[in-house]
Structure formats: C-alpha cells, structure tokens
Amino acid sequence: MSSERLAALLDEYAELEKRLADPAIHADQGTARRVGRRYAELVPLHKAAAELEQARADLAAARELAAEDASFAGEAEAIGATLPGLEERLAELLIPRDPHDAKDVIVEIKAGEGGEESALFAGDLLRMYTRYAERRGWLTEVIDAQESDLGGVKDVSLAIKTKGVPEGGNGVWSRLKWEGGVHRVQRVPVTESQGRIHTSAAGVLVLPEAEEVDVTIDPNELRIDVFRSSGPGGQSVNTTDSAVRITHLPTGIVVSCQNEKSQLQNREQAMRIMRARLLAAAQEQANAAASDARKAQVRTVDRSERIRTYNFPQNRITDHRIGYTAYNLDLALAGDLDGVLDALGEADRAARLAGDPELARR
C-alpha cells in the first residue's frame, strides 16, 4: 500500500476534523455540508489505519512477552493472524473512490420504444426507485414530469437525497450510479387484447446533483424560453406562461420544467437539472482519454441496447452487465433492489481492486 497516500489522507482527515470543530464553518451550510461529506468519506480509512496500527503494536508487545514467557506465544499468533485482513481492508480503502459517491442524484426516466406501454413501464421504474429510496430513508422530490394518457410517464426527473451527511461518504450516487441505461420490459400490456407478450423499453439517466460551486454557468450563455404547461394529450393545464425551457448555448443541452405553478420555481428546478447535466458532461470530457463511463448510460432508448430486463411472465430480473438473474421481480419493483445493487457493487469493488474501475458499468 502507498504509505505516502495514507499519510496524506490521514493529514486531510485531521485538518477536516479541526474545521468541523470550528463553529464558524456552520455559518455557511453549503461549506459545512461539503466538508462533512468529505470527512465522512475518510472516517472508515482513519478507523482502519488506527486498528492496524494498534494490532501491530499489540503484536510487538505480545512477541516481546513471549520471548520471556512461552505462554504468550499463542496470543502473539492470534494477533498476527488478524493482520492480513486489516491490511487488505486498508488497502481497499486506499484505492481512489468515485469522487461523486457522497452526492445526491437526479434520476431521469424517459419512455422509449413501445408507446403507451413504455410510458407505463417508465412509471413502474419511477415507483421502484421511489420505494427503494423510502426503504433507505432517503428523501425524494419529483422535479418535473410529463404524464401519459393512461397514467404512465413520458418523461420524469426525480431528485433523491440523503438526510444529513451520508455515513462513510456513501450517498445516493454510490448505490444508484449503475442504474443508467436502457431497461427492457417483457410482459402482456394492458392495451393487448389477445394476451401476447410485448417488449418495450425505457431509458434511465442518473446524474450526481451538482451544487453551484461545482459548476460555473455564465448567464449570457443561457437562452430561457417560457410557455404554457401541458398535460396528457397536450391540453394546457395552466393559463399563464409558467413553464420554462433553458438552453445552454455552448453545449446545446436543453432542460424544460413545468411542474410548478410559478415561473420562478420552474426556472430554479430547471437550473438544478442543468447543473447536474453540465457536471456530468464536464466529467465525461475530463475522463475521455482514460475511460468513457457514460457509454454505460446509453443515449438512445433502443430495446437492443439494454442493461437490464424485467420479465413479468417469469417474475425474473436480469442485469446483463454482470450476468445477475433473480426470480423476485415483484419484490424488486416494490423497492427491494439491494440484491442487484449489491451484486453490482461487488463487481465494481472487484474491478477496482483489479485496476479497472469501469468494469462493473459496462
């Protein structure tokens, strides 16, 4: 393991601990939250390093005593047997982690091929992520949604947040970052009169929610248009131009929001999504030479480019990236996603230990 990296991180931990002990930092809640998140990320490392240091000290003392009294030999052997596990744990914590792991997320779900059935499935995914968030004690907020005629969703943006500082720096992103891509469903649609199984798809994009300090946006590079909100079937649901469409001219990224009754509120919500998309775009550009993680979050909702299949007749959920299959689709759609997410997390851990941090996202 890198002793220089360990020393640097422990120094950073000590410095953050001092900053958090200073009451002045809490005058700026944004700064306090960022410092608190980083501190929480380093707590497991500090604990593991302290445990290893203590075990090594105990081993040295036991060996010294064993040299004078053979009855201490067994104790020295027992302590020595714990060292490999402690060293492995510390080595794993020293591997550079995803810098966004502590962040909250914005999940965008878009209906794709399959018409109304795809919109109904997109609604199922929205409920699945909402229920999973409830199980984890996270907060959810629908930023914007366009419903379909039969009660599904054509397009929805869902913010998911932790309460307070996430333990160990493991925020919402650390669990949901692999969900981006095309999700395929196989079932008999409610609109099918002859009982035939159809295949349709919905696209999911997961973005780490950006804070204002993460992204600098020049107001002169934004075009802001206002229009009237519309509901299922295209009918107007508001008599004023409260819906907002923001275009970032340099990148061409477009965000629309119409959920709120106030134009100002819709603008604020649209800017939240815009910041998240610009942060993701900047990250993609910065990592382009080394990797292309966002290839996993496929850009077209094509049924052939799927990461996961939800097969209703077999009650089966299959993640194609890691070969995971379970026959508990009903539970997964009710929010019990830990099985597939744990498997993805373990694949990611193994990949990082092998020196390939993007293996689990392919």
Query: Can you tell me the distance from the alpha carbon of 223 to that of 246, in angstroms, rounded to the nearest whole number?
Result: 6
CB atoms under 10 Å from CB of 201, counted, come to 25
Residue 318 corresponds to which amino acid? T
Q: How confident is the model at residue 290 (pLDDT cuts 50, 70, 90)?
A: very low
Phi/psi of residue 54, each to 5°? -65, -40
Query: Can you tell me the distance from the alpha carbon of 323 to that of 317, in angstroms, rounded to the nearest whole number?
Result: 11
Query: Can you tell me the distance from the alpha carbon of 33 to that of 360, in angstroms, rounded to the nearest whole number?
Result: 29
CA-CA distances (angstroms) from residue 326 to 5, 135, 178, 340? 40, 20, 17, 8
Check residue 142 and give its pLDDT: 92
Domains in the chain with CATH codes: 1-94 (1.20.58), 105-212+298-354 (3.30.70.1660), 219-289 (3.30.160.20)
11-60 tens-digit pLDDT: 999 999 999 999 989 888 878 888 888 898 899 999 999 999 999 999 99
Question: Are 238 and 227 within 8 A, CB to CB?
Answer: no
Torsion of CA 309, 311, 317, 318, to 10 degrees: -40
Q: Which of 61-75, 180-194, 209-223, 334-348 has the highest mean pLDDT?
A: 334-348
Check residue 298 and give its pLDDT: 41
Task: Summarize the confidence of residues 137-141 as an average pLDDT.
Answer: 95
- Vertex 141, ends 25 and 309: CA angle to 5°? 120
Query: Can you tell me the distance from the alpha carbon of 301 to that of 122, in angstroms, rounded to the nearest whole number?
Result: 12
Name which of 96, 108, 190, 100 is nearest 151 in CA terms.
Answer: 190
Q: How confident is the model at residue 305 (pLDDT cuts 50, 70, 90)?
A: low
Check residue 240 and give its pLDDT: 59
Residue 257 corresponds to which amino acid? C
Name which of 285, 270, 276, 261 is nearest 223 in CA terms.
Answer: 270
Task: Summarize the confidence of residues 322-350 as an average pLDDT.
Answer: 94
Q: Helices H, strands E: what count in the chain?
A: 8, 11
Tell me: pLDDT of 292 over 80. Answer: no
Check residue 216 and give its pLDDT: 84
Check residue 224 and give its pLDDT: 93
Cβ-proximal residues to 51 (8 Å cutoff; 6+ apart), any chain: 86
Tell me: pLDDT of 289 over 50. Answer: no
Check residue 37 and give its pLDDT: 85
Task: Summarize the confidence of residues 294-311 as an average pLDDT.
Answer: 63
82-134 tens-digit pLDDT: 999 999 889 888 888 888 898 999 999 999 876 889 999 999 999 999 999 99
